[in-house]
Amino acid sequence: MENAMILEKQYDELLQLLKDKKYGILHGRLSQMNASDISEFLEEYVPQDGLVLTFRLTQKDKGANAFAYLSSEIQEAIIKGISDREVGDLVNELYTDDAADMIEELPANVVKRVMRNVDSDTRDLINRFLQYPENSAGSIMTAEFVDLKKNMTVAESFARIRKIGEDKETLYTMYVVDGNRKLEGVIEARDLLLSDHSAVIDEIMHTNIISVNTHDDQEKVSELFSRYDLLAIPVVDMEQRLVGIVTVDDIIDVMEQEATEDFELMAAMTPSEKPYLKTGVFTLAKNRVLWLMLLMISATVTGSILLHYEEAFLVVPLLVALMPMLTDTGGNAGCQSSTLIIRGMAVGEIYPRDILLVLWKELRVSLLCGLALAAINFARVLVVYPGEVQVAFVVSIALVATVIMAKVVGCVLPIAAKVCKLDPAIMAAPLITTLVDAGALLLYFEIARIILKI
Amino acid sequence: MENAMILEKQYDELLQLLKDKKYGILHGRLSQMNASDISEFLEEYVPQDGLVLTFRLTQKDKGANAFAYLSSEIQEAIIKGISDREVGDLVNELYTDDAADMIEELPANVVKRVMRNVDSDTRDLINRFLQYPENSAGSIMTAEFVDLKKNMTVAESFARIRKIGEDKETLYTMYVVDGNRKLEGVIEARDLLLSDHSAVIDEIMHTNIISVNTHDDQEKVSELFSRYDLLAIPVVDMEQRLVGIVTVDDIIDVMEQEATEDFELMAAMTPSEKPYLKTGVFTLAKNRVLWLMLLMISATVTGSILLHYEEAFLVVPLLVALMPMLTDTGGNAGCQSSTLIIRGMAVGEIYPRDILLVLWKELRVSLLCGLALAAINFARVLVVYPGEVQVAFVVSIALVATVIMAKVVGCVLPIAAKVCKLDPAIMAAPLITTLVDAGALLLYFEIARIILKI
């Protein structure tokens, strides 16, 4: 990506300015940059002892934005290096959700110092945010939005936006609340921009409001964004009072995070909190080894099935040679179905009530796939092992049966998990493979026993 | 999801109104609804013969929005049922990208009728959009944006927005162009709302513009959105002239689509164009069977390896019983690594240049995992098959070797694919499993031959 290379060159120049102590020029260059690029520069280029200095050289508001993107280690280093007053200014400038995220990761003594130096309002807000459950709407919302009253005119609304808008997360959706902060309506900047200046908010606001509760899961929030093409959604408490908003940029992060979690679960790993390159070797090993162990021990079942049919494969060793093809194909076929169903449920296209539809579809698909594979396989076995017609017959029949069984298991298990309120993503390739292996071998040797009469 | 149930009830009521011919009430109810809900109602509830009538009962602009969400079959049915004039009005009202998407799916004679009935400007735009490659920035952009000149004041800009803003896709990012339509700057509604009315655009616009080219891949566009928290991005042609914009709601769809594609590729399927429940059985079977066949045929290699070691397993049949555990664990371990690397590259956290870092990490992780698994497995084999110390020893050593080999294969192959400009997602579980199977069995029987002296 050419973009990445231009940025790298730019970071190297900035670093040189820092080393040469050309702080004036560095300050000027930083003020031209995006907050997320500044954050990357701080995170990956600036040495530990230059962090505080570089951070001080960025403008206050942009510095706070860049700070929000930093990893908790670098955040901690900066917090420890700046003065009490700077800590207060910085945290007051942060959006509440970013401040709460930071505080969750800081050691207790640093948290105390932070809390001592912020406004009492900010402190209360942060404390409230810290109480929302992880991955709830409350934990990803911000408290910085523009509220209007329904008797205001458009002109008065513009004046209010101009007055309080500076440090709000969005100026594109405004929220109309009554005296008790109950949400009465929503109005978009678009409506204000296109309406007459004398129009009253009450007449132009939308009352058909899409909102979420502080305790709703972030996955529900992101489904609503994607379904209704929202830029922001209001978050209300149990009494329908407006307490915050979630904006689309946070939802993009949520969507990426949820998809990554599903990818990890589906590959039999405990999802990790940090990016791969920043996760330690022990954490990576821990996230993987338990699942591997569980699956390894379940494979004991397959082992005993095989020993049970020892006689069959001692008589016809070719049966063993064809075994991996059969179990792998079964695993692959099952994994195709489970992936489609898991993903379909994750994006809200398939619901548990569709189970009969799905089963009927998978049965027909598996019959088509199974027959095609069996035909090719029959020919292949005869070419590679000439004369082994009976074995070719056995393995081809077993193949059809295995593909059908695998696809049924692959579509039923994720739906069953969903019904049991488990994450369907755990019913993915690794578990399906283990189950299908056992089933495939049972089918295979039973068919062999009947046809080959062993 | 309670939301889904409320909607279902609502749709049933609407359907009853349609059956009872209470069109006035139905019109009123439809005007209260969101475009995406209207589209779901048309798509899944209204019978074929009621489509045109229901569509006519929605307001013009909302009808066009809802139309854009519909599947191509329903779009075609509506287009065929409405008058030439209505076709023209509808397509003029659609955003260009939606119109182009629709036209790509319509049969040729219907396309002719559509093109005959739209404005010549719209026709030219649609024709231009149809030429952009699939999944390029050009194919997902819209041409409906607000352009400003740099000598305008804020007050003049507001006036222009009010005048031309009605049918623009966003009013929240405005684009400053010169006489040749070359992009000179970007200004957000936020800046306009907070600036003095007499300020001149030239002084407040941002000139450090993040833009993409019409031919850039949509994945690059979505990476920029996620990195810089954008709401819209300008799309320029080779001469840096502004031709369109991509908005965040389209990017959310792109992100979902790209993740789904990766899930499907990683489960050895050709990605499908439509949601699972709307894809026909033959298409589903076709998307799956080729990959299954390819993998099945590659398993021939594993079969010949096994026959090569026929002697070994005839002497010690227990070796066969432990085989599925070994190959499954190898497959799972490799699939964990490949998934982390594929996903890491997809979200821009890992680049091919990180290969040595990744390898070093995976080597240590695999040693930790391998040793832990081997220890447990050694104990397990001795418990299940008492006295088989040598076999337990063989399979445990093979296990460590297999896990290390699997993790190396799992991290190298996706990176190699990326370097060769292939989609790393094809180097996922199914292919890794097939390769690792062969390697694991080679290691296993060689180790057995040495230790058991067969």
**Tens digits of per-residue pLDDT, B250-269?**
899 899 888 888 888 888 88
Q: What is the pLDDT of residues A45-70, one digit of tens each?
A: 999 889 999 999 998 888 888 998 89
Residue type, A121: D
Q: Provide the 3-class DSSP secondary structure of residue B215.
A: coil
Measured CA to CA, the distance from residue A177 to residue A161 in angstroms comes to 15
Give the full edge-to-edge strand order of the sheet including B212-213. B212-213, B232-236, B242-247
Q: What is the pLDDT of residues B139-150, one digit of tens each?
A: 889 888 999 999
Task: Tokens 């990176």: give the residue.
Answer: B415
- pLDDT value at position A415? 93
- pLDDT value at position B1? 46
Q: What is the pLDDT of residues A165-186, one digit of tens each?
A: 888 888 999 999 998 899 999 9
Residues of chain A numbered 349-388 and touching chain B (CB < 8 Å):
349-351, 354, 357-358, 361, 364-365, 368-369, 372-373, 376-377, 380, 384
Q: Which of B444, B371, B350, B363 has the alpha carbon at shortest distance from B408?
A: B363
Please, is A12 exposed, middle or buried when counting C-beta atoms within 10 Å of its C-beta (0-12, 13-18, 19+)? exposed
Report the gap between the CA of B116 and the closest CA in chain A (Å): 31
Q: What is the pLDDT of residues A65-107, one digit of tens each?
A: 899 889 888 999 999 999 999 998 898 888 888 888 888 888 8
Inform me whether the pLDDT recorded for A444 exceeds 90.
yes
Inform me whether the pLDDT recorded for A384 exceeds 90.
no
Measured CA to CA, the distance from residue A447 to residue A160 in angstroms comes to 79
Residue type, B253: D
Asked if A439 and A425 count as a contact pair (C-beta separation under 8 A), the reply is: no
Report the gap between the CA of A308 and the closest CA in chain B (Å): 9
Tally of CA atoms within 13 A in the half-sphere of B256 that contains its CB = 22
* CB nearest to A260's CB, from B189, B228, B347: B347
Inform me whether the pLDDT recorded for A22 exceeds 70.
yes
Which residues in chain A have Cβ-Cβ distances shorter than 8 Å to B251? 252
Residue A240: which region, alpha, beta or left (left: phi > 0; alpha: psi -120 to 50)?
left
Look up residue A261 and give its two tokens.
């979690």
Please, is A243 exposed, middle or buried when counting C-beta atoms within 10 Å of its C-beta (0-12, 13-18, 19+)? buried
CA dihedral of B154, B159, B164, B169, whole degrees rounded to 10: 50
Residues of chain B numbered 115-144 and touching chain A (CB < 8 Å):
none
Look up residue A324 and give its two tokens.
């991996």
Give the full edge-to-edge strand order of the sheet including A212-213. A212-213, A232-236, A242-247
Q: Which residues of chain B have pLDDT under 70?
A: 1-3
Buried-exposed string B61-73: b where 16+ CB fall within 10 A, e elsewhere: ebbbbbbbbbbee
Buried-exposed string A40-66: b where 16+ CB fall within 10 A, e elsewhere: bbbbeebeeeebbebbbbbeeebbbbb
Nearest CA in chain A to B355: A277
| Run of H or E residues at B173 | strand B173-177
Q: Which of B167, B171, B163 has the alpha carbon at shortest distance from B92?
A: B167
pTM: 0.79
Look up residue A199 and give its two tokens.
């129009």
The torsion angles phi and psi of B178, rounded to 5 degrees, stand at -90, -170
Tally of CA atoms within 13 A in the half-sphere of B66 that contains its CB = 25
- pLDDT value at position B2? 59
Q: What is the pLDDT of residues A279-300, one digit of tens each?
A: 888 888 888 888 888 888 888 8
Helix axes A60-69, A96-105, angle to 10 degrees: 50
| Degrees to nearest 5, angle at CA B342 with B339 and B344 | 100
Nearest CA in chain B to A336: B267
Q: Is B323 on the interface with A (CB under 8 A)?
A: yes
Q: Return the number of other C-beta atoms located less than 10 Å from residue B286's C-beta.
A: 16
Q: Residues A183-196: what's their mean pLDDT?
A: 93
Q: Is B31 on the interface with A (CB under 8 A)?
A: no
Report the gap between the CA of A59 and the closest CA in chain B (Å): 16
Asked if B360 and A284 count as a contact pair (C-beta separation under 8 A), the reply is: no
Q: Which of B304, B301, B333, B314 has the alpha carbon at shortest distance from B401?
A: B333
Would you give the DSSP letter of residue B229?
Answer: T
Which residues in chain A have Cβ-Cβ distances shorter than 8 Å to B297? 376, 380
Q: Is B65 on the interface with A (CB under 8 A)?
A: no
Could B255 and A253 be called an inter-chain contact, meaning their C-beta atoms sit closer than 8 Å? no
Could B324 and A220 be called an inter-chain contact, meaning their C-beta atoms sit closer than 8 Å? no
Tally of CA atoms within 13 A in the half-sphere of A351 that contains its CB = 5
Would you give the DSSP letter of residue A273?
Answer: S
Tally of CA atoms within 13 A in the half-sphere of A396 that contains its CB = 18
Count of CB pairs separated by less than 8 Å, A with B: 343
Q: What is the DSSP track for A84-108?
A: HHHHHHHHHHS-HHHHHHHHHHS-H
Look up residue B351 and give its two tokens.
């680049």
| Run of H or E residues at A235 | strand A232-236
Report the gap between the CA of B93 and the closest CA in chain A (Å): 18
Measured CA to CA, the distance from residue A30 to residue A333 in angstroms comes to 53
Give the bridge partners for B176, in sequence order: B148, B185
Structural domains of chain B, ranges and CATH numbers in brackets: 2-131 (1.25.60.10), 147-262 (3.10.580.10), 276-452 (1.10.357.20)
Q: Return the number of other C-beta atoms located less than 10 Å from residue A372's C-beta.
A: 19
Measured CA to CA, the distance from residue B192 to residue A193 in angstroms comes to 11
- Provide the percentage of residues in chain A whose pLDDT is more than 70: 99
Inform me whether the pLDDT recorded for A148 exceeds 90.
yes
pLDDT band, very low/low/confident/very high, at A1 (cuts 50, 70, 90): very low
Q: What is the DSSP track for A33-94?
A: S-HHHHHHHHHHTS-GGGHHHHHHHS-HHHHHHHHHHS-HHHHHHHHHHS-HHHHHHHHHHS
Report the gap between the CA of B16 and the closest CA in chain A (Å): 22
Residue type, B78: I
- Provide the percentage of residues in chain A whose pLDDT is more than 90: 44
Asked if B424 and B418 count as a contact pair (C-beta separation under 8 A), the reply is: yes
Residue type, A39: S
